[in-house]
A = this chain, B = another copy of it.
Amino acid sequence: MQFTSEQRLDDGVLEREFTLGEIPGILWTPASAPAPAPLILLGHPGGLHRMYPRLVARARSSAADGFAAATIELPGGGDRPRFAAVEQARAELLRALEAGEPVTEEIVDRLVLPLVEKAVPEWRSALDALLSLPEIDGPVGYSGGVISIGIRLAVVEPRISAAVLFAGSFVPRSMFEEARRVTIPLHVLLQWDDEGNDRQTALDLFDAFGSREKSLHANLGGHTGVPQLAGDAAARFLTWHLSQPPTVPAVSSR
């Protein structure tokens, strides 16, 4: 992990760009951090530059709550090399949508599954690097982005202890099975009128999650219209769960 730039934002938050091998990323740490800060991984749909205004707003809010926040570029996103398999599927998806044809499960699988397969190990490597920094310590939360990446991370990455997920409908059927294996606390946001989403699919996915603690928060409006109160509630969910004392495995007294 190489830091490539560093700046202080006007609220004192330290923003550092980094590369992890070929993957660009950004780390934000609170202005004053007396102790190592818990970390929130900020998911996004790909394209760090395009997403920067929303990402930095979420990072500032996390920093105000005492958390570090970090993100990395997705495979094929932003300045990273195109991801041919996914590009092809995305083109077919757009063609189907424009033609008013149904989006087949096969297209969704080819769009999402390779992205999950490639992105999840990258996020785990980023987590290794970030947690090795002295200014960061667990626990770790995950927030937003491609929901299938969030599901897979929640299943395979034990260092993630709570997640905020944005319900989207292009979810491979196999991810419903993975959803049943998720056990961490979940806060799921659903935009009730999201034109790109199938509401019933989102409700079914929420139902499938295996977590004993999960909540669904549906708000009016389209894809990017999450209201301020709803964003605040999602932040409070992470604050709550990342501020709990760590559960130390019971050690036998004998």
**Which residues of A come within 8 Å of B, CB atoms?**
192, 203, 206-207, 211-220, 227, 229-230, 232-233, 236-237, 240
- In the complex, which residue of chain B has the Cβ closest to the Cβ of A213? B220
Contact between chains at A216 and B213 (CB < 8 Å): no
Which listed residue, B192, B213, B220, B230, touches A227 by the CB 8 Å rule?
B213
What B residues does A206 contact at CB under 8 A? 192, 218
Report the copy number of this chain in the oligomer.
2
Across the interface, A214 reaches (CB within 8 A) one of B212, B220, B232, namely B220
Which B-chain residue is minimally distant from A218 (CB atoms)? B216
Q: Which residues of B contact A219 (CB under 8 A)?
A: 214-216
Chain B, residue nearest A206 (CB): B218
Neighbouring B residues of A192 by C-beta, 8 Å: 206-207, 216
B residues near A237, Cβ cutoff 8 Å: 229
Task: Please name 15 further chain A to chain B contacts, defined as beta carbons within 8 Å, in addition to the given A212-B220, A213-B220, sorted by A numbering.
Answer: A192-B206, A192-B207, A192-B216, A211-B220, A213-B227, A214-B219, A215-B218, A215-B220, A215-B227, A215-B229, A215-B230, A216-B217, A216-B219, A233-B233, A233-B236
Q: A232 to B211: give the CA distance in the assembly, Å.
A: 21
B residues within 8 A CB of A218?
206, 215-218
- Do A216 and B216 touch (CB < 8 A)? yes
Which residues on B sit within 8 Å (CB–CB) of A211? Answer: 220
Q: How far is the CB of A187 from chain B (nearest CB, A)?
A: 9
- Among B213, B215, B229, contact of A236 (Cβ-Cβ < 8 Å): B229
Kindly state the separation between the CA atoms of A207 and B193 in the bound complex, as whole angstroms. 10
Tell me the nearest residue of chain B to A212, going by C-beta.
B220
- Chain B residues near A227: list those with CB within 8 A: 213, 215
Nearest chain B residue, comparing its CB with the CB of A203: B203
A33 → chain B closest CB, angstroms: 25
**Chain B residues near A232 (CB-CB < 8 A):** 236
A-B contact pairs, 6 of them (CB 8 A): A192-B216, A215-B217, A215-B218, A215-B219, A216-B216, A233-B233
Chain B's nearest CB lies how many Å from the CB of A169? Answer: 16
Q: How far is the CB of A241 from chain B (nearest CB, A)?
A: 9
Nearest B residue to A200, CB-CB: B203
